[in-house]
């Protein structure tokens, strides 16, 4: 018996990943996608990490989800692919690991790996959100672009004994880590579009921080934690928060929940549910300069919202960044057209 997608939820035909991507993530991706041959280079680089051997590793030592194995999980995957209109259904493997984790791996044929700890932690609706999150990574092409971060991180470690070379590479890695964290915020939105249940999405993020005892936790109280974390007492706390992000691939749990809550109550989420969203078929016409401006604008808006005193002292420095960044890409695009 073939698994049929659940048609009770809203489907988004031809939806572009730009619909849900965080502006900082989207700006970087639009620029990277516009570089002719860049995807090819990254896919060649991904060969260094033997995507084929990774797949064989999970094929040999984990359980592949399908019609006869973890059928309910397979149904969630089919639904997520149907809702986000992914061209190809990725393989999904369940690995025995008490630590809750999930990831999308690969470039040519990405696949998903989710631990038993994750499934033991979540209920059915929360699981929908998590699988939709990983499908969002695949639709955005994050698995391909993250290869660059992994390659540069490894290279930076190898040349750590060369002071100037290491400093330059480390600066690039820090920038890519910031993009990586924003890509997680993007995929949280994709998970929400898949589950279409904001409460379940928030619960899943809260459980990632505090475990399965939901009766002892409160989303409202967790959001209050997020506000306290954002505020900080003085500039020293702001500096500590910035340093705590070094080497982190994911934003802190309170930040993710606060960001998703803000997006869930925004008009943007409602417009997508109503069918008003950018189409994949129009991706080639996306303006790099506009996306760069949007990315800078999103940072400025975040800095305007924050009560962090350190960010407050730096806020004025960011004035004009969006317009300047857009002009740079406009000039580059104009020069390319003339050539």
Tokens of 317: 């420095």
Q: Is 134 a catalytic residue?
A: yes
Order of strands, edge to edge, in the sheet holding 111-115?
A: 63-64, 92-95, 111-115, 102-105
Going from the C-alpha of 213 to that of each of 25, 129, 208, the distances in angstroms are 33, 19, 11
Q: How many CB atoms lie within 10 A of CB 327?
A: 13
Q: Are 63 and 70 in contact (CB under 8 A)?
A: yes
Tokens of 36: 């002719």
CA atoms within 13 A on the CB side of 273: 17
N residues, the chain: 339
- Max Cα–Cα distance, the chain, nearest Å: 63
Tokens of 127: 């699981």
Active-site residue, selected from the candidate residues 126, 134, 259, 291? 134
User: How far is it, in rounded angstroms, from Cα 73 to Cα 113?
Assistant: 12
Residues with a known catalytic role: 134
């Amino acid at each position: 018996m073939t698994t049929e997608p659940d048609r009770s939820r809203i489907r988004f035909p031809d939806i572009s990943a730009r619909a849900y991507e965080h502006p900082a993530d989207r700006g970087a991706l639009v620029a990277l996608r516009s570089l002719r041959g860049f995807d090819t280079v990254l896919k060649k680089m991904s060969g260094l990490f033997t995507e084929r051997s990774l797949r064989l590793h999970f094929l040999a030592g984990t359980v592949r989800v399908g019609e006869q194995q973890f059928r309910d999980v397979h149904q969630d995957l089919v639904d997520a692919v149907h809702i986000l209109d992914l061209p190809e259904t990725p393989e999904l493997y369940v690995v025995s690991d008490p630590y809750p984790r999930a990831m999308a791996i690969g470039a040519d044929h990405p696949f998903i790996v989710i631990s038993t700890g994750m499934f033991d932690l979540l209920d059915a609706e929360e699981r929908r959100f998590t699988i939709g999150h990983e499908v969002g990574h695949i639709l955005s092409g994050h698995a391909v672009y993250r290869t660059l971060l992994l390659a540069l991180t490894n290279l930076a470690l190898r040349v750590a004994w060369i002071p100037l070379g290491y400093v330059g590479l480390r600066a690039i890695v820090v920038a890519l880590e910031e993009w990586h964290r924003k890509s997680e915020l993007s995929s949280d939105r994709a998970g929400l579009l898949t589950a279409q249940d904001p409460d379940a999405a928030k619960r899943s993020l809260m459980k990632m921080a505090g475990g399965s005892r939901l009766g002892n936790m409160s989303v409202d109280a967790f959001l209050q934690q997020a506000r306290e974390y954002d505020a900080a007492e003085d500039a020293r706390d702001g500096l500590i928060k910035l340093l705590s992000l070094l080497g982190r691939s994911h934003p802190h749990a309170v930040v993710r929940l606060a960001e998703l809550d803000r997006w869930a109550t925004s008009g943007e989420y409602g417009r997508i549910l109503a069918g008003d969203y950018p189409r994949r078929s129009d991706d080639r016409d996306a303006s790099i300069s506009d996306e760069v401006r949007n990315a800078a604008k999103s940072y400025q808006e975040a800095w305007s919202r924050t009560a962090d005193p350190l960010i407050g002292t730096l806020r004025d420095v960011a004035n004009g960044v969006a317009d300047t960044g857009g002009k740079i890409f406009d000039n580059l695009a104009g020069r390319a057209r003339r050539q």
